[in-house]
Chains A and B, each alone.
Chain A
Amino acid sequence: MTAPTLISLDVNGERVDAQVLPRLNLADFLRDHLALTGTHVGCEHGVCGACTVRVNGDIVRSCLMLAVQTHGASVETIEGLSDSGEIADLQAAFRDRNALQCGFCTPGMLIAAQDLLERQAAPDRTLIREHLSGNYCRCTGYHAIIDAVEATARARTGRKS
């Protein structure tokens, strides 16, 4: 179980084939093998949320998932979500509200927030706080992030109605 293994997966809509060691985690695979450095590594034990990515539509901690587990999967990172325009409004809300300072938590925070907004059209502040409670931000104190997510939810609901 220590020899390199071939995996094939879809990363941000591109087909990727790679030989990886079974012990390689998804975060290191994305960062070191694919140079997708928007996925950040904060704690390496699944607590801080900086490495949050989407695998087959669900958000996961890429530091807790092995790269070999993504064989056949579809992986989306902050680079992909940015280029597709899927979270452009959320990003604009973060910018307008200064909901980021150092920006290290921001990719994971955006992906976690988008996950909530896909499930809940109109989450209240308590629900937003709860959903993001696995994503650590040392800079903002969270208030501005909650504001930005709330504003995005409101704008999206307004657009639909």
Chain B
Amino acid sequence: MTLGPANPETLSVLDRPNSYIGKVVPRPNLDRLMQGRGLYVSDMELPRMGHVVFLRSPHAHAKIASIDVAAARRVTGVIAIVTGEELAPVITPWVGILSHLKGLKSAPQRAIAIDRVCWQGEAIAAIVATSRAVAEDAAELISVEYEELDPVTDMRTALDPQTPVIHPSLGDNLAFERNLDAGAVDAAFAGSDEVVEAEFVFGRHTGVTLEPRSVVADWNAAEARLTIYQGTQAPHMVQNIAALHLGLEDSQVRVICKDVGGSFGIKVHIYADEMATYALSKLLRRPIKFVADRVESFNTDIHARDHRCKGRIGVKRDGTIMAFEIDDLTGIGPYSMYPRTSAIEANQVVNLVGGPYVTKNYRARARVVFQNKNVMCQYRAVGHPIACSVTEGLVDLAASRIGMDPVEIRRRNLIADDAYPCASPSGLRFEKLSHHAAMNKLVAMMDYEVLRAEQAALRKKNIHRGIGIASFIEVTNPSAAFYGVGGARISSQDGVAVRLDATGSVTCQTSITEQGQGSESLTAQIVGSVLGVSMARVRVILGDTDNTPYGGGTWASRGAGIGGEAALQAAKILRKNVLDVAAAILQASPAELDIVNDVVVNADDGSPRIELRELARIVYFRPDTLPPGIQPELMATRHFVPREYPFAFTNGVQASWLEVDTDTGFVKLLRHWVVEDCGTIINPQLVDEQIRGGVVQGLGAALFEKCIYDERGQLTNANMADYLVPMSGEMPDIDVGHVVSPTAETELGAKGAGEAGTAGAAAAVTNAVNDALRPFGAIITEIPLTPQVILAALKRI
């Protein structure tokens, strides 16, 4: 055992003996999930529970002329059939806007449509029955007369004068526009030796969480209280919004979040069918369960990334990047989502393009338009994959034009590692990034020169392999600047309460949530390390608005950086309180004592003085034996929110090594490397697995995933056989390396790591495919890179 230092209070928790920080420790409670004994919302049953099925519009845009539910009502087991008009008195409509996104507009959205449907999949009636099967039987007996309206589907013509306006009260189909002009862009392009342009096209895709969205709402009429069991990333947000629209106080709504079968941003929004389920429970005075089926998931889970972005880069022959310019267009469906809005992704694209590079010359326009397709909103790495693909695609095109190696052009333009703090042309403030250190590490990990030689040798044998590089920055630890300043009641601070229990174990309540990232583990690691308590004795409670401090939850790579710091600060207070009591009991000074392995010890020689369990026994059961005037406080609560930097930026670089079959158009991924810098690493294994999982989500976008709509606004591949996701057979091994630049804004120093993988994966793959196809003169700036896209670029079809 390492002995404690002379004065532990002057050392950070990172240096304490037996610290769990930076160590691989298994996540607590995995056995529950591995034995099939977790509790996902879809597993839940409550007495008198009704199951709701939503009848959904088959049309993208139509008037509802009539709904006849008489036959359906007669089905045995049907509890109620509720239309939008019947539900309206119970729940008010909402509008997804934020005041800091100037000009953003949207129309009121209802839990169940009234008179008109605006996308294929919008609910027009709720069928509540004793089982889902009975409800589905009844749904088939409802007859609806629609009068079809012209759908707006193509984002490129959504703003044309002859295109119908989806919401006449808004005047046009433009939801949001942002323009930015920084530096001297025209002069920079005029002074460039080469200017390269391209249009980048991104497929609309979606999260495909393995557990569909699920909710059980239980209105107890006698208590006048609603309990919502939901797989959500933000319980307090759900509590606040449910209360607001049901006419309740927050205290009348409890949100409980047990195990969640994947989220990735899909489960951080407020969906109409979930709002309808809360309202149905209140209306029918019984528990109501909604579990989306897979077709509903594809038609109603938020989509993302449907962007067309024209990009332009100016470069000198020596590789100096002179300027970036983009014109981004995205279609978000008929409504801006609530409450985070659907303008954030385009806004992020404007913020992030060119972010890793020195040039100050940057012009951007982003337009966000309405269309009659499913809603789009924030999904893992919001905007990052677009911005990274555009930026890194342009940088590679520029390198190719001037005949420079892709690594070299980046080295000549990435912000120097000693240039911080500094700011981007779009106003992002960078505290400390490490682009060059990350690039150096990546090049070493992948053996870049050897790989280039191998590529050249294989080309002679008509084997076409490519290397793609993508540097990136990632937004993490968002302050109130993300949502709060725009008026959204989404907390950016988090709280943690830590309590020493009567047997010397520790209970810790945190407002961050767990969906598999390891929130529970990192909280226990931090609390155990600071307190000197073994992790096995720390129990973490999350996901319950009745039983945790108020906070934001887990999204935008904020859990470790914000919730982790709150845990650290709370544990420090509890540690001090414990040592004060120990000193009183032992007639010592607190400074002479430390806590190591669940025992209060002498700080200087580590000899044991009193076990925590004994201290707790005295405090709770024999306080009469304590010296007079001592009132122990064995529970401590602290909250944290970043104040100095609106966001903690991380950075990294990815590389893809792949082979393109030029006869079939198939891409075989051979290897993928990532070096990222998320600051202090609490658990290396958890960070690596966040990166790997994120990369594979990006690889899915790069190669397979696309929601294919026809011109009538019909989603034609709303199932997992036709919408392709990455499976193990096609995925490569992924090597992950790190550079560590802790943020000085917290004692913990952790930034986020949840989205870095997704941010750069597609850009690396696209650059690698273009690298492989270089001998053919084909350049592709569209994802997914399906065989069809590749063969078309090769002019083989």
Query: Which positions in A face B, CB cutoff 8 Å?
Result: 23, 31-32, 35-45, 47-48, 50, 77-79, 82, 91, 94-98, 100-107, 110, 125, 128-130, 132-146
* Pairs of residues from A and B, 4 with the lowest C-beta to C-beta distance, nearest first: A38-B36, A103-B33, A101-B516, A104-B261
The closest CB in chain B to the CB of A126 belongs to B729
Is B294 located at the chain interface by the 8 A CB criterion? yes
Once the chains bind, are B30 and A104 in contact (CB under 8 Å)?
A: no
Q: Indicate if the CB atoms of A50 and B210 lie closer than 8 Å.
A: yes
Which of chain B's residues have a CB closer than 8 A to the CB of A135?
727-728
**Are A43 and B719 within 8 A (Cβ)?**
yes
Establish whether residues B696 and A141, one from each chain, have CB atoms under 8 Å apart when the complex forms. yes
Q: Beyond A44-B293, A146-B728, is A140–B693 a contact (Cβ under 8 Å)?
A: yes
- B262 located at the interface, meaning its Cβ lies under 8 Å from any Cβ of chain A in the complex: yes
Distance (Å) between the CB of B749 and the closest chain A CB? 22
Contacts of B515 in A (CB 8 A): 101-102
Partner pick for B36 among A32, A45, A107, A130, CB 8 A cutoff:
A107
Query: Which residues on B sit within 8 Å (CB–CB) of A146?
Result: 728, 733
**Nearest-neighbor residue (CB-CB) of B211 within chain A:** A104
Closest beta carbon of chain A to B597's beta carbon, Å: 22
- Would A41 and B259 count as touching, CB distance under 8 A? no
B139-165: which residues lie under 8 A (CB-CB) from chain A?
none
**What residues of A have a CB within 8 angstroms of the CB of B694 in the complex?**
141
Q: Which A residue's beta carbon lies closest to that of B685?
A: A98
Q: Which residues of B contact A42 (CB under 8 A)?
A: 210-212, 294, 720
Given contacts A45-B721, A79-B35, A100-B33, 13 further A-B contacts (CB under 8 A): A32-B131, A37-B39, A40-B36, A42-B212, A42-B294, A101-B515, A102-B210, A106-B34, A129-B729, A132-B729, A136-B720, A138-B262, A138-B693
Q: Would B35 and A96 count as touching, CB distance under 8 A?
A: no
| B786 CB-CB contact with A under 8 Å | no
A150 → chain B closest CB, angstroms = 11
A102 touches B211 (CB 8 A): yes
Q: How far is the CA of A129 from the CA of B725 in the complex (A)?
A: 15
Distance A47 CA – B722 CA, assembled complex (angstroms): 10
A144 to B719, CA, bound (A): 27
A102-B261, A141-B692 in contact; A95/B34 too (CB < 8 A)?
yes
Q: Is there a chain A Cβ closer than 8 Å to B689's Cβ?
A: yes
Interface membership of B686, Cβ < 8 A = yes
Tell me if B645 counts as interface (CB < 8 A to partner A): no
Docked-complex contact A45 and B720, CB < 8 angstroms: yes
* Nearest-neighbor residue (CB-CB) of A147 within chain B: B733
Cα A101 to Cα B754 with chains together (Å): 12
* Chain B positions near chain A (C-beta within 8 angstroms): 26-27, 30-40, 42-43, 45, 131, 133, 207-212, 259-264, 293-294, 515-518, 685-686, 689, 692-697, 719-721, 725-731, 733-734, 757
Q: Which of A40, A98, A139, A142 has a CB less than 8 Å from the CB of B731?
A: A142
Instruction: Give Cα distance in the complex from A145 to B685, angstroms.
Output: 13
Measured in the bound complex, the distance between the Cα atoms of B166 and A21 in whole Å is: 45
Q: How far is the CA of A140 from the CA of B262 in the complex (A)?
A: 11
Per the bound structure, the CA–CA distance linking A151 and B388 in Å amounts to 36
Q: Which of B133, B693, B730 contacts A139 (CB 8 A)?
A: B693
Q: Which residues of A contact B27 (CB under 8 A)?
A: 95, 98
Taken together as a complex, chains A and B put the C-alpha atoms of A50 and B260 apart, in Å, by 14
Question: CA–CA, A71 to B26, complex, Å?
Answer: 41
Q: A136-B725, A138-B697, A138-B725 are in contact. Are A36 and B36 (CB under 8 A)?
A: yes
Chain B residues, CB < 8 A from A140: 689, 692-693, 696
Is there contact, CB below 8 Å, between A78 and B731? no
Cβ contact within 8 Å between A98 and B696: no
- Checking A37, A39, A133, A139 against B727 with a beta-carbon cut-off of 8 angstroms, the contacting residue is A133
Option from B294, B686, B725 in Cβ contact (under 8 Å) with A98: B686
Query: What are 11 A-to-B residue pairs whose CB atoms are below 8 Å?
Result: A48-B210, A48-B720, A82-B37, A98-B685, A101-B693, A102-B209, A110-B34, A129-B731, A136-B727, A138-B693, A141-B734
A103 CB contact (under 8 Å) in B259, B264, B721, B733 = B259
A residues less than 8 Å from B293 (CB atoms): 44
Cβ–Cβ contact B34 & A91, under 8 A: yes
B residues within 8 A CB of A47? 719-721
- Report the minimal beta-carbon distance from A11 to chain B, rounded to whole angstroms: 13
**With a CB–CB cut-off of 8 A, which chain A residues contact B36?**
36-40, 77-79, 82, 107
Contacts of B692 in A (CB 8 A): 140-141, 143-144
| Listed residue (A31, A95, A101, A103) with the most chain B CB atoms within 10 angstroms of its CB | A103
Partner of B30, one of A32, A103, A137: A103
Tell me the bound Cα distance from A101 to B689 in angstroms: 9
Task: Establish whether residues B34 and A100, one from each chain, have CB atoms under 8 Å apart when the complex forms.
Answer: yes
A91 adjacent to B43 (CB under 8 Å): no
A133 contact set on B, CB distance < 8 A? 727-730
Most B CB contacts (10 A, CB to CB) among A138, A144, A145 go to A138
Bound together, the chains give a CA A99 to CA B680 distance in angstroms of 23
Task: Report whether A142 and B37 are in contact in the complex, using a CB–CB cutoff of 8 Å.
Answer: no
| Complex Cα spacing A35 to B697, Å | 32
Chain B, residue nearest A41 (CB): B42
How near does chain B come to A144, taking the closest CB pair, in angstroms? Answer: 6
A35 to B36 Cα, complex, angstroms:
11
Q: Complex Cα distance A133/B260, Å? A: 23
Chain A contacts of B211 at CB under 8 A? 40, 42, 102, 104
A58 to chain B, nearest CB (A): 19
Task: Give the residue name and chain of the B residue nearest to A83 (CB).
Answer: B35
A95 touches B26 (CB 8 A): yes
Residues of A contacting B689 in the complex (Cβ-Cβ under 8 angstroms) = 98, 101, 140-141, 144
* Bound-complex Cα distance A103 to B517 (A): 11
Chain B residues in 8 Å Cβ range of A132: 728-729
B262 touches A104 (CB 8 A): yes
Q: How far is the CA of A37 from the CA of B728 in the complex (A)?
A: 25
CB-CB < 8 A to B720: which residues of A?
A: 42-43, 45, 47-48, 136
Docked pose: A100 CA to B210 CA in angstroms: 13
Instruction: Say whether A102 contacts B728, CB under 8 Å.
Output: no
Which chain B residue shows the least CB distance to A138? B262
Q: Are A43 and B695 in contact (CB under 8 A)?
A: no
State in angstroms the CA–CA spacing of A45 and B27 once bound together: 32
A6 to B596, CA, bound (A): 61
